[in-house]
Amino acid sequence: MAMFENESIAVSSLSSTSINDIVFTPISKKYLYVLVLNNALQYIVLASLIFIANYWRVEPFIALKFQIFVVLILYVFLHSTLSILEFKKRKYALRTHDISFKQGVLTNSLTTVPLSRIQHLDITQGILSRFFGLANLKLFTAGADGSDMVIKGLLLAEAEKLKEHLTAQINERI
């Protein structure tokens, strides 16, 4: 007669882990450079607009020169702080059956796409991203607008690996 066995089973292994308990991976640190440079570019454009307005003596601007200047300084300060804080919040997690992405400082959001619902995948690279060896991974679902997921600032190799893995999953389905 076979030995009667009664192994203990961890309760946590019975049900899948809650979305709250999974470990998220942050995106590449290099993406901060891309963010900072993008922001700098934006500020330069703004600054040159002011310069032009000042040079041509555009009417409402001249009168409100000081106020506009203060608002802009505030904007630059807040925007740059927020985008750096926001950068730290961008994390993703891959599980057997789904992929999740977290972001946001003032408003936290977490999106999850079941792998069985991915239609196709795309890797894109902007000029700055390419320079730093980064890439964006886009996941398209059949869902209404806003249901697609974009993970920006992955290392190119990482993005390609992810894409390969996900593509294999999609093809398995068909």
Partner 1 sequence: MSEFNFEIPSKQSVKGIIFLVFPSIANTFKSAYLPLLFYVFQFFRNPEQYKPYLTHIGFGVFTLVVFSIIRGFLSFKNFQFFISNDYFVLQKGIIKKQRLEISLHKIQNVHISQNFLQRFVGVVGLSIDTAGDKTTEVIIKSLSTEKALALKKALVNSKNLKEETVVNDTVLNISFSELVMAGLTQNHFNSFYLLSVIIFGLLIDIKDITDMFGFAGFVENLTTEATSGTYFTIIIIYFLTIIIAIICSVIYSVVKVMINNYGLSVKHSKEAIEIEKGLFNRVTYSLKSSKIQSVIYKTNRLKQKFGMYSLRFNQAMSAINSNKNIEIEGLKNQNLKIFEQFVFGYPIVNRVENRAKPDPYFKTQLFIKTVYLLVLINVIAISLLGVGFSVVNLLLVPWFLFLNYLRYKKSYYNYQKDYIILGEGRIDTVTNIFEHHKIQSLKIKQSFFQKKREVASITVYTASNFMTIPSMPYAEAIILYDSLLWKVESTDLDWI
Residue 67 is a binding residue for partner 1 (CB under 8 A):
no
Nearer to partner 1, 80 or 141 (CB): 141
Nearer to partner 1, 6 or 108 (CB): 108
Token pair recorded at residue 1: 């007669």
Residue 14 is a binding residue for partner 1 (CB under 8 A):
no
Please state the closest distance from residue 173 (CB atom) to partner 1, in A.
9
Question: Site size for partner 1, by CB under 8 A?
Answer: 27
Residue 169 is a binding residue for partner 1 (CB under 8 A):
no
Among 36, 63, 54, smallest CA distance to 132 is for 36
φ/ψ region of 46 (left if φ > 0, alpha if ψ in -120 to 50, else beta) reads alpha
Which residue type occupies 150? V
Please state the closest distance from residue 163 (CB atom) to partner 1, in A.
18
Q: How many CB atoms lie within 10 A of CB 106?
A: 7
Per CB under 8 A, the segment of 29-37, 38-46, 86-94, 115-123 that binds partner 1 is 115-123
Do residues 28 and 96 make contact, with C-beta atoms less than 8 angstroms apart?
no
Distance CA 99, CA 96 (A): 8
Residue 83 is a binding residue for partner 1 (CB under 8 A):
no
Residue 11 is a binding residue for partner 1 (CB under 8 A):
no
User: Which DSSP string do the residues of 154-168 spell out, in sequence order?
Assistant: EEHHHHHHHHHHHHH
**Residue from 79, 97, 161, 165 binding partner 1 (CB under 8 A):** 97
Token pair recorded at residue 45: 């454009």
Binding site for partner 1 (CB under 8 A): 16, 18-20, 97-98, 106-117, 119, 141-144, 146-147, 149, 174
